[in-house]
Amino acid sequence: MHWFQRFFLIAILFCVSRTPLLAAEWQVGVAKVVVTPESPTWLSGYGSRNKPAEGKVHDLYAKALAFESKQGTRLVLVTCDLGSMHYGIARPVAAAVEKSHGLPQSNLIINVSHTHCAPEVAVERPVFHNLSDEAEAALANYIDQQLIPKLITLVRESLDDLKPARLLVSQSSASFGKSRRFPTESGIVNRRYDEGITEDDVPVMQVVSPDGKLRAVMFGYACHNTTLAFYQYCGDYAGFAQYNVEASHPGAVALFMMGCGGDQNPYPRHGPKGLEYCRQHGRELSDAVERAIQGEQTEVHGPLRTAHTVVNLPLEPPPTREQLQRDAETATSYRQRKAKYLLGELEKHGKLMSEQPCPLYAARFGKELLFIAVSGETVVDYSRKPKAEFVGPMVWVAGYCTDVFAYLPSQRVLLEGGYEGRTGIVHQLTPTPFAPSVEDHVMGGIRRLVKQVSQ
Ligand SMILES: [Zn+2]
C-alpha cells in the first residue's frame, strides 16, 4: 500500500471511530442504589398493619437516568421502589444536587412505584398510623440517615456518569392492571371491575451506548403495586419485572416508572397465593418489555426542552371548628385522628388550607417523545387525556411524582365519588375533597407546560 493510501485509510478509520462520539445527540448517565432499610421498619399503606417488616423477598432500589442534550439541557428521572414521596424528601435531594452539580431543582423528577411493601415514608404517616415512638423514630432515622443521603448520591452518580448514548422508545402492553372502581346502587366500591376505564400501555425507553450495548431500560405501567399485603420488603410486581429485565440483559439497569394507576389494581391479588400472583404479574410486565425491545423502535432526537409548574387545586370549603371538635370526640378512629390533626393546623395557622399545591412537569425530547409527570395518586384519566390530546410524539405520562399528597381524581372520578374521588381523603392530610374544577386546573397546567416545551 502506498504511503498516501495508508494515510487516507488511517484518516478514514479515525473519522469512522470518532463518528459515534461526534454524532451523539445525547449524554446519558445511569445509577442505582439499594434503599432497603438496614433494620426492620413499618411498611407502607394498609391501615390494618400491626407490626414492622419481617425480612425481605428482594431488595428495594432507587435508580436514576440523567439526560443531557447537545444544547446542554439536563433532566434527571429517579424511580424508587417506595410507597410514597413528598417535598420533605424530594426538596433536600434537589437542593443538594443543585448545589453540587448545578442541576435546576425543577429538572429532577422523583417517581415512586407505590409498592406497599416498602418502608412507610408517606407525609401523613405520623397522623394516621398510630405508630409507637420507637417505630416512628426508626422511620425518621431511615428517611434522614439512609434514604435522603442515598438519593443525593444516586442523582450525583447519574450526572457523573453522563456519556454518549442513543435513546430508543417503543410501546407494549400488559393487562393484569384493572379498574378497581366497581359501580353499585349505593355508589362506587373498591373491587375489580373489568368493564371499567383502564390503560394497558407499557411505554419503554432503551438507553444504548454507541457500540450497541444496552445500558438501561425504563418502562412504565399504570397500576397500584398492591399484589402483596404481607410483612416483607418487596417491590411487588414492578420489583419482579425490574429483576427479570436485568437478568435477561446483564449489565443493564431496569427502571420502573409508575404511571397514572391511582384507580387501578393488579388482579388477582392478596391472600396466601399473593407472592405467586406477584411473580406472575412481574413476568407479564417484563415479557411486555422484552416484546417492546424486540419490536419496532423510534430513535429519539433532541433538543430537550423542560418545564415545571405548581398548580393550586381548589378544595371544597373546610369543615368548621365545631364540626372538627365533634369529630375529634365522637367519630371513628381515622376521622377522629384527621379531625385532631386539622384542629392542630387551625390552631397553628388560624385557618385550614383551601388549595392543594400540585407539581407538574413536561419534557419534550425532539419530535419523538413528550414526557409528562404528575404528582399525587394520579388516576388513569390523567394519562388517557394527554395521550388523546397531544398527537404526534409518543406521549408518556408518569403519576406519583415528587409529592404524593392525596388521590388526584379527574372530574369524572370526583363526581362518581368512591375512594379515589372522595372518601380516601379521610386518610390524607388534604382537609377536604377537591372542588369539581380539579381536572381543569391539572389539565390547564399540563397544556401550558406542553405549549412551553413544544415551541
Ligand atoms: Zn394508593
Per run of 10 residues, the mean pLDDT along the chain (length 455 residues) is 53 46 82 96 86 94 98 98 98 98 98 97 88 93 98 98 98 98 96 97 98 97 96 97 98 98 98 97 98 98 97 96 94 89 95 97 98 98 98 96 97 96 92 97 98 95
In this prediction, residue 3 carries a pLDDT of: 52
Q: Are residues 324 and 373 in the same domain?
A: no
Distance 218 CA to ligand 1 centre (A): 22
Q: Are residues 260 and 376 in the same domain?
A: yes
Q: Are residues 96 and 213 in the same domain?
A: yes
In this prediction, residue 6 carries a pLDDT of: 59
Q: Are residues 195 and 46 in the same domain?
A: yes
In a domain, 14, yes or no: no
User: Any residues with CB less than 8 A from the CB of 247 and at least 6 apart, and which?
Assistant: none
Distance 156 CA to ligand 1 centre (A): 30
Alpha helices in 24-61 (DSSP H): none
Distance 224 CA to ligand 1 centre (A): 6
Tell me the sheet residues that pair with 364: 305, 370
Task: Report the sign of the C-alpha dihedral through residues 383, 374, 389, 362, in that order.
Answer: negative
The gap between the terminal CA atoms of the chain, to the nearest Å, is 54
Distance 377 CA to ligand 1 centre (A): 6
Q: Are residues 429 and 293 in the same domain?
A: yes
Distance 200 CA to ligand 1 centre (A): 18
Distance 390 CA to ligand 1 centre (A): 27
In this prediction, residue 13 carries a pLDDT of: 47
Q: Are residues 88 and 195 in the same domain?
A: yes
Distance 159 CA to ligand 1 centre (A): 31
In this prediction, residue 32 carries a pLDDT of: 98
Distance 429 CA to ligand 1 centre (A): 14
**Residue 9 to residue 6: CA distance in whole angstroms:** 5
Distance 420 CA to ligand 1 centre (A): 9
Distance 262 CA to ligand 1 centre (A): 6
In a domain, 431, yes or no: yes
In this prediction, residue 15 carries a pLDDT of: 45
In this prediction, residue 14 carries a pLDDT of: 47
In this prediction, residue 455 carries a pLDDT of: 84
Distance 118 CA to ligand 1 centre (A): 13
Q: Are residues 51 and 75 in the same domain?
A: yes
In this prediction, residue 226 carries a pLDDT of: 97
Q: Are residues 380 and 234 in the same domain?
A: yes
Distance 406 CA to ligand 1 centre (A): 9
Of 357, 388, 356, the closest CA to residue 372 belongs to 388
Domain range enclosing 328? 318-349
* Count of domains observed in the chain: 2
Characterize the bridge pairing of strands 264-266 and 177-184: antiparallel
Q: What is the CA radius of gyration of the chain?
A: 23
Task: Report the sign of the C-alpha dihedral through residues 204, 79, 150, 245, in that order.
Answer: negative
In this prediction, residue 127 carries a pLDDT of: 86
Distance 271 CA to ligand 1 centre (A): 18
Distance 99 CA to ligand 1 centre (A): 33
Global confidence as pTM: 0.94
